[in-house]
Amino acid sequence: MSKWNCVLELDDQREIVNGSTEALADAIRRGADLRIGTDFRHNEHIRPGGDNPEIIREVSDFRTTYLIEDQWVAGIMTLRMPVDCLEGFGPRASMSFFMYNQDGTQAIARPYLDGKTPQSDNDASPGEDVADFPKMQRLDQQDIGTNAPSENFIYEFDEYRFLVREEWRELYSHDAMGQGTGGSFEALMSAFEEGCEIKVGIAGLCSELCEDPDRAPRHEIFVQCGPGYYETVSKRFASGAQPTVRVKPAVPMRYRSRGWDFGWLLPRTDGTVFRWLCNPYTLQFEKSEKRYPIRWFVR
* DSSP string over 226-239: EEEEEETTTTEEEE
What CA–CA distance (Å, rounded) separates 198 from 274?
Answer: 17
The domain in which residue 282 lies consists of 168-298
Residues 10 and 132 in one domain: yes
| Res 126: pLDDT | 79
What length is written for the chain?
Answer: 299
What CA–CA distance (Å, rounded) separates 265 from 277?
Answer: 8
| Res 51: pLDDT | 78
| Res 121: pLDDT | 46
Phi, psi at residue 14, to the nearest 5°?
A: 65, 30
Burial letters for 232-267: b for 16+ Cβ neighbours within 10 Å, e otherwise? eeeeebbbebebbbbbbbbebbbbbeebbbbbbbbb
Residues 59 and 15 in one domain: yes
Residue 15, number of CB atoms within 10 A of its CB: 10
CB 238 within 8 A of CB 185: no
| Res 115: pLDDT | 77
Give the CA distances from residue 194 to residues 103, 185, 189, 299, in Å, rounded to whole numbers and listed in that order: 39, 14, 9, 11
The pLDDT averaged over each successive group of 10 residues in the chain (299 residues) is 90 96 98 95 71 85 98 97 78 94 97 76 60 82 94 94 98 98 98 98 98 97 98 97 98 98 98 98 97 98
Residues 120 and 106 in one domain: yes
Q: Which of 262, 265, 272, 266 is nearest to 293 (CA)?
A: 272
- Pick the last residue of a domain from 143, 163, 183: 163
| Res 122: pLDDT | 47
Q: How many domains does the chain have?
A: 2
Residues 264 and 147 in one domain: no
Residues 127 and 181 in one domain: no
Name 251's Cβ contacts closer than 8 Å, sequence gap at least 6: 68, 69, 72, 217
Residue 126, preceding peptide bond in cis (omega within 30° of 0): yes
Residues 12 and 143 in one domain: yes
Residues 147 and 173 in one domain: no
What CA–CA distance (Å, rounded) separates 247 from 290?
Answer: 17
What CA–CA distance (Å, rounded) separates 19 from 163?
Answer: 11
The three-point CA angle 173-178-184 to 5° equals 40
Residues 25 and 153 in one domain: yes
DSSP 213: G
| Res 88: pLDDT | 83
Residues 91 and 143 in one domain: yes
- Pick the last residue of a domain from 138, 163, 188: 163
The three-point CA angle 55-56-58 to 5° equals 145
Residues 274 and 129 in one domain: no
